[in-house]
Amino acid sequence: DTAVSQTPKYLVTQMGNDKSIKCEQNLGHDTMYWYKQDSKKFLKIMFSYNNKELIINETVPNRFSPKSPDKAHLNLHINSLELGDSAVYFCASSPTDLDGYIFGSGTRLTVV
Amino acid sequence: QKEVEQNSGPLSVPEGAIASLNCTYSDRGSQSFFWYRQYSGKSPELIMFIYSNGDKEDGRFTAQLNKASQYVSLLIRDSQPSDSATYLCAAALGYSTLTFGKGTMLLVSP
C-alpha cells in the first residue's frame, strides 16, 4: 500500500491549458504539502494544509489553487499553464513531529 | 528569509571512504534538521534527523549538529556505489514546514 500517492506520474500539456494533480495519503497524517522541484533539483514549498485548512501559501502565482476535501487528500489545480511551470511536483505529508515527513513519488509536468 | 545552504558538488569519493556532506542554515531559531537522499528520478527519502547538538549515529550514517555555528553535517562511512545520489539538507522551525537546501550530489566510484 503506497503511503503517499500522486497521480498522474507524468503530465505533458500545452501552454494555456488547465490541469490537476491529485494526492492521497493513508498514513493518518494531519498535514499535507505541495513542493515544486525545478530542473536544478531545488525543492521549494508551495502550500501547506493542516486538517484541511491552508497554513502556508508561499509566493506562488494565483494560477495555482490547492484544494483539500479532507485531511487525506490534497489536490493541486493549475490554470493557464506556462512554460516555467515545467517541473516535478511533490506532495508530502507529515504527523505533528516532522520526522515522519513522507514524499509522494512526484508528478513530472512538462508544458510545451 | 530562511535559507539552507549546501555545496552542489559533485562530491566524489572512492568506495569504502568516508563521505562528508555539509549544510549551513540562516534561521537561528531552527530546531530540527533532516537529511534526505534522492536518487535520480525518485522522490526524497528520509535517512536521518537530528534535534540536539552533537552527533547521532545510525548504521553507516552519522549526523552532526552545531547550533552555535548553524552547521549540520552528514558522514557516510564505508561509502558504497549505491550511496551515489543527491543529499538534501532540511531545517524546520518548530513544527513548521521543512526548508530544503539545493542538495549535494555524491558520486561513489567502485
Q: Using 50, 70 and 90 to split pLDDT, how confident is the model at A97?
A: low
Q: What residue of A is the nearest CA neighbor of B35?
A: A99
Question: What is the average per-residue pLDDT within A26-36?
Answer: 93
* Cell output for B77: 562511512
B 14-33: CB under 8 A from A: 32
The maximal CA–CA distance of chain A, rounded, in angstroms, is 40
Question: Does B42 reach chain A within 8 Å, measured CB to CB?
Answer: yes
Quote the pLDDT of residue A53.
Answer: 83
Amino acid at B66: N
In whole angstroms, give the CA distance from residue A47 to residue A27: 19
Kindly indicate the confidence band of residue A100, based on its pLDDT and cuts at 50, 70 and 90. confident
**CB of A9 less than 8 A from some CB of B:** no
Higher-confidence residue: A88 or B96? A88
The answer to whether A6 and A92 have CB atoms below 8 angstroms apart is no
Test A99 with B88 for CB contact under 8 angstroms: no
> Is B108 in contact with B13 (CB distance < 8 Å)?
yes
Which SS3 state, helix, strand or coil, does residue A98 take? helix
Q: For residues B64 and B70, what is the distance between their CA atoms, to the nearest angstrom?
A: 11
For residue B2, give the nearest of A56, A65, A99 by alpha carbon.
A56
pLDDT computed for residue B39 by the predictor = 96
- Provide the shortest C-alpha distance from residue B42 to chain A (in Å): 6
| A96 neighbourhood in chain B, CB within 8 Å | 95
How open is the CA angle B28-B32-B34, to the nearest 5 degrees? 120
Cα-based distances in Å from A108 to A32, A39, A62? 19, 11, 20
Rounded Cα distance, A75 and B60, in Å: 38
Mean pLDDT of A23-52: 91
Which contiguous run of DSSP H or E holds residue B25? strand B19-25
Quote the pLDDT of residue B97.
Answer: 81
What distance in Å separates the CA atoms of residue B38 and residue B85, rounded to the nearest whole number? 6
The contacts found for B52-61 with CB under 8 angstroms, 24 or more apart, are B61/B35
Per-residue pLDDT, B30: 87
Regions of chain B where pLDDT drops below 70: 1, 94-95
Q: What is the DSSP letter of B18?
A: P
Residue B96 near chain A (CB below 8 Å): yes
Q: Do A33 and B100 touch (CB under 8 A)?
A: no
pLDDT in tens, B65-85: 999 999 999 999 999 999 999
Residue A30 CB-half CA count within 13 A:
11
Q: What is the arithmetic mean of pLDDT over A21-42?
A: 92
pLDDT at residue A107 in the model: 97
Question: CA of B2, closest CA in chain A: separation in Å?
Answer: 12
pLDDT confidence bin for A96, thresholds 50/70/90 = confident
Rounded to whole angstroms, what are the CA distances from A54 to A26, A27, B39? 20, 19, 30
Task: Write out pLDDT tens, residues A39-86.
Answer: 888 899 999 988 888 887 777 899 999 999 998 999 999 999 999 999
